[in-house]
């Protein structure tokens, strides 16, 4: 089917849905979109580490980094535009949504990430708390499916994606999740006990920078991948240095006598402001250093807001 026909049909579907706009729905779907946004990851992933679930935290981080890289690569390779605005009304409640709207549309990163995030979380919970009750397992899977469905539908309602974008994100997300469930134990064993892990991840991170595709027009997709690539590298390097002290399987976990709720809240009060300060400073430093490094090494960055500095 020609792309123009798909675009027309996708736009008409969105317009039919947006006829039923309501302030409550605007707030609901905008809020749900934040579940797989940068501010959510900034808080959610550290909470997993501080709660004693280090294995889940590092696996979720690496999975999200993989989703971010593969999803953004596909976006910039396909270079399929988002729904035309107008006639579609695009609802952006935050600056993150405004930045996301500058990316290409296929596949939907929100849908892809939600599939992987919720799917792996359900898998981990059911593995960590074995239950022979089929209703418990069915309930967990149902909640995950509802979350994916609401976020996918919400992206259409908000005018950020067409139906084909959501379908693409769903399919790609399921493929990545299936692959990750096959290899994550091997990946985790390599990270916590392997040799030369930090140097390997350092080389891998640079190779991913060189391998990133060039889109038709500049988008912030490369910038997003680079940021999460750095997060993944930092976590892998940190775990290598401190696994025996803070990340092994016998560390205190929340809601036990060894890690009480007040102690967990204390970690949050100290940790979250520290993360926000480090994030702000590192981002400012990256905007100054990355262009210099990229120009020096000849890394062909074509998809980032740093382009003016790169060209200069």
Element (H, E) at 89: none
pLDDT for the residue 1: 46
pLDDT for the residue 279: 82
pLDDT tens across 25-46, in order?
A: 888 888 888 888 777 888 888 8
CB contact set of 167 (below 8 Å; sequence gap of 6+): none
pLDDT for the residue 2: 45
pLDDT for the residue 89: 83
The mean pLDDT of 119-125, rounded to a whole number, is 89
Q: Place 312 in a pLDDT band, splitting at 50, 70 and 90.
A: very low
Tell whether the model's pLDDT for residue 4 goes beyond 70: no
Active site residues: 110, 161
pLDDT tens across 45-98, in order?
A: 888 888 888 888 889 999 998 998 999 889 888 888 888 877 888 887 777 777
CA dihedral 46, 49, 55, 59 (to 10 degrees): 0
pLDDT for the residue 191: 86
CB contact set of 195 (below 8 Å; sequence gap of 6+): none
On whether the CB atoms of residues 41 and 191 are closer than 8 A, the answer is no
Tell whether the model's pLDDT for residue 205 goes beyond 70: yes
Q: How many CB atoms lie within 10 A of CB 128?
A: 10
pLDDT tens across 138-191, in order?
A: 888 899 999 999 999 988 888 888 889 999 999 999 999 999 999 988 888 888
Q: Is 259 helix (H, G, I), strand (E, B) or coil?
A: strand
Answer with the residue of higher pLDDT: 72 or 306. 72
Arithmetic mean of pLDDT over the chain: 82
pLDDT tens across 242-255, in order?
A: 887 887 888 888 87
pLDDT for the residue 127: 81
**DSSP assignments along 162-222, one per residue:** -HHHHHHHHHHHHHHHHHHHHHHHHHHHHHHH-SSHHHHHHHHHHHHHHHPPPPSS--THH
Q: How many CB atoms lie within 10 A of CB 302?
A: 16
pLDDT for the residue 170: 94
Q: What percent of the chain has pLDDT over 90?
A: 14
On whether the CB atoms of residues 228 and 212 are closer than 8 A, the answer is no
pLDDT for the residue 234: 86
């Amino acid at each position: 089917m020609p792309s123009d026909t798909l675009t027309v049909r996708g736009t008409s579907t969105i317009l039919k849905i947006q006829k039923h706009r309501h302030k409550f729905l605007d707030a609901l779907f905008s809020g749900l979109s934040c579940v797989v946004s940068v501010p959510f990851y900034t808080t959610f992933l550290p909470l997993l580490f501080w709660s004693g679930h280090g294995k889940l935290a590092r696996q979720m981080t690496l999975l999200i980094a993989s989703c971010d890289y593969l999803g953004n690569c596909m976006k910039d390779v396909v270079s399929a535009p988002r729904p035309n605005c107008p006639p579609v009304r695009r609802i952006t409640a935050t600056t993150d949504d405004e930045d996301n709207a500058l990316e290409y549309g296929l596949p939907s990163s929100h849908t892809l990430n939600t599939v992987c995030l919720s799917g792996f979380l359900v898998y981990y919970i059911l593995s960590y708390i074995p239950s022979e009750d089929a209703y418990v397992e069915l309930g967990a899977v149902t909640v995950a499916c509802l979350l994916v469905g609401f976020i996918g539908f919400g992206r259409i309602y908000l005018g950020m994606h067409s139906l084909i974008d959501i379908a693409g994100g769903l399919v790609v997300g399921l493929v990545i999740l299936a692959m990750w469930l096959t290899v994550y134990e091997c990946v985790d064993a390599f990270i916590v006990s392997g040799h030369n892990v930090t140097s390997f991840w350092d080389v891998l991170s640079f190779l991913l920078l060189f391998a990133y595709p060039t889109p038709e027009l500049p988008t912030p997709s490369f910038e997003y991948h680079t940021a999460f690539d750095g997060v993944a590298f930092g976590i892998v390097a940190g775990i290598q240095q401190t696994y025996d002290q803070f990340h092994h399987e016998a560390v205190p976990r929340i809601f036990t006598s060894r890690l009480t709720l007040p102690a967990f809240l204390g970690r949050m009060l100290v940790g979250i402001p520290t993360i926000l300060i480090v994030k702000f400073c590192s981002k400012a430093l990256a905007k100054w250093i990355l262009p210099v490094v990229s120009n020096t090494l000849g890394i062909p960055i074509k998809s980032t807001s740093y382009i003016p500095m790169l060209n200069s």
